[in-house]
Amino acid sequence: MPSRRSPGLAQLRPGASLPDMKASVFVDNNAPLVVEELTLDDPGPSEVHVKWAASGVCHSDVSVWNGKLPLPPPSILGHEGAGVVVAAGETVAGFKTGDHVVGNFKPLCGDCFYCNSGQSYICEQSMMLGMGRMPWNRGDGSKLMGAIGGLGTFAEESVVHEGALVKINNDTALEEAALIGCGVTTGIGSALFAADVQPGSTCVVIGCGGVGQAVVQGCRIAGAENIVALDLNASKRNAAQEHGATHAIDPSKGDADALIKSLTNNRGADYVFEVVGTSALQRQAYDLTRPGGSVVWVGVAGMMDETSLPAAMITLDNKRVIGTIYGSANPRTDFAKFIDYAKQGKLDLKGMVSQRIGIHDINEAFTAMLEGDVIRSVVIYD
C-alpha cells in the first residue's frame, strides 16, 4: 500500500479507501498512544470526510485512556476538533467540499424524542451514530473506530456521521473553533442553560481546567456578581481570575465556606459547579450551596461511583441537584452563538490555549494535563 499524504480538497480519487494519513492510536489503557499510518474509507450516505485543522486534548480523552470511562481499545481518541470537509455522501444538511465544521461529540439523529424536544445532547441514537462505524484501516487489516462520538480528532482525517458535525462560517479561526466542540460548550452551557445563572448571583466553580475556565466565563457572561474559583493549581486560579473570577482560593489552604458565607450574608452560594468528577467534590458542591440554590455536576465521575447526599435536607432546603452533559447545549444552534460571543469579545478562546503541539506530542499533553500544568493543549495539523 503506498504511503502518501491525503489528497487536496479537489483531488479525491475513487476507490474503497483514501490514501494514508497519520493517527495517534489508543492501543491499551495507560499505555502510550502510538502514531500509525492508516487508510480511511470513503464516505457513504449521511457521512462526511473531514480533514481536521486542530484538536483540543480534553480530560475525557484521558478518562478513556486510563479506564475511568470504559471504552475499549484499540480506537482513536480526540473529540474536540474543527476542520474542513474534503468530501461528503448525500447528507440532509448538505455538507460540501470546503465547508468549515466543528465536531459534535454527541451526534444527533434529528428525529428521536429528545432531538424533537430540544434535548439533542441526549439523542437516543447518539452512541450508535458515533460508534457504529469503523472507518480507519490499519496495516494488518483490522479496523478502528472513533472512541468518543466517532470523531477521532487525534487522526489527521476522519469519516463521521453528519450528525457529528456543525457547519460554521469560514471566517472563524479553526484553532479556536475546535475548543467549542467540547470544553467551551460544556462549561458555558452549564452556566447559561443547565443552571440558568441569574445576574447578581454568587457562583462557585470547583475545578478550573479547560471546562472550569469556560464555566467561569459563562457565569461572567450571565452577569454573576461573585465568581469564586477553587483549584489547587495556582496557574489555573490565575487564569480563572483573568477569565472573570472575582475570587480564587486554594482549597487546601483557604476556607472556601467562610469566604462564600461572607459574600452572601451567611446563606451560601446560589450556584455551585463541580467540574472535576469525584464524589467528595460533588458532596462539597452540595454543602456550599444555599437553600433554594442549584448544585450543578459537570465533571463525570467513575461509572461505579456513588455520592451520598442528605435525603431530608434536599427536600427541606429545596436544593436542586442538576446533572448536565455537554452543558445542556444544542450544538446546531449554540455553537454559532458561542462563536459570536468570541467575535464580540465576550468569550476568550485564545486565552484557553496553553500550548500548540503536533500529533507526536499527545502523550506529553496527557501528562501535562494530569500534572495540572495546562488549561488546553491543542494539536495543530498541517
For residues 228, 216, 302, 166, the Cα torsion angle rounded to the nearest 10 degrees is: 170
Over the range 154-175, which residues count as b (16 or more CB within 10 Å of their CB) and which as e? bbbbbbbbbbbbbbbeeebebb
Residue 58 near residue 129, CB atoms below 8 Å: no
Q: Give the model's pLDDT for residue 303.
A: 87
Average predicted confidence (pLDDT) for the chain: 93
Q: Give the model's pLDDT for residue 252.
A: 92
| Percent residues over pLDDT 70 in the chain | 95
Q: Which CATH superfamily is domain 186-325 in?
A: NAD(P)-binding Rossmann-like Domain (3.40.50.720)
Confidence of residue 373 (pLDDT cuts 50, 70, 90): confident
Q: Is the pLDDT of residue 113 over 50?
A: yes
What would the mean pLDDT of 223-236 be, rounded to a whole number? 96
Can you say how many angstroms the Cα of residue 278 is from the centroid of all Cα atoms in its chain?
18
How far from 310 is each of 207, 291, 313, CA to CA, in Å? 23, 13, 5
pTM of the model: 0.92
Q: Is the pLDDT of residue 16 over 60?
A: no
What would the mean pLDDT of 63-89 be, rounded to a whole number? 95
The three grid cell numbers given for residue 78, joined into one nine-digit string: 480526540
Q: Which residues contact 67 (CB under 8 A, 6 or more apart)?
A: 29, 30
Q: Is the pLDDT of residue 238 over 90?
A: yes
Q: Is the pLDDT of residue 89 over 90?
A: yes
Q: Give the model's pLDDT for residue 20.
A: 87
Query: Side by side, which strands form the sheet with 247-249?
Result: 247-249, 226-230, 202-206, 269-274, 289-297, 320-323
For the stretch 338-349, pLDDT in tens is 999 999 999 999
Beta-strand runs (E) in the chain? 17-26, 34-41, 47-57, 75-76, 80-88, 100-103, 136-137, 143-144, 157-161, 165-168, 202-206, 226-230, 247-249, 269-274, 289-297, 320-323, 355-357, 377-380
For the stretch 23-35, pLDDT in tens is 999 999 999 999 9
Residue 152 near residue 64, CB atoms below 8 Å: no
Q: What is the rounded CA–CA span in Å between residue 195 and residue 320?
A: 10
Residue 89 near residue 46, CB atoms below 8 Å: yes
Q: Give the model's pLDDT for residue 19.
A: 67
Q: Is the pLDDT of residue 15 over 70?
A: no
Domains 17-181+349-380 and 186-325 fall in the same CATH topology: no
Single-letter amino acid code for the residue at 151: L
The three grid cell numbers given for residue 10, joined into one nine-digit string: 479537489
Confidence of residue 382 (pLDDT cuts 50, 70, 90): confident
Please count the other Cβ atoms lying within 10 Å of the Cβ belonging to residue 357: 18
Q: Where are the chain's structural domains?
A: 17-181+349-380, 186-325
Residue 294 near residue 323, CB atoms below 8 Å: no
Taking the CA atoms of the chain, what radius of gyration do you get in angstroms? 21
Please count the other Cβ atoms lying within 10 Å of the Cβ belonging to residue 15: 10
For the stretch 277-326, pLDDT in tens is 999 999 999 999 999 999 999 999 988 899 999 999 999 999 999 999 99
Say whether domain 17-181+349-380 belongs to CATH 2.40.50.100: no
* C-alpha closest to that of 169 among 161, 158, 180: 180
Q: Give the model's pLDDT for residue 372.
A: 84
The three grid cell numbers given for residue 285, joined into one nine-digit string: 458542591
Q: Give the model's pLDDT for residue 14.
A: 39
For the stretch 127-171, pLDDT in tens is 999 999 899 999 999 999 999 999 999 999 999 999 999 999 999
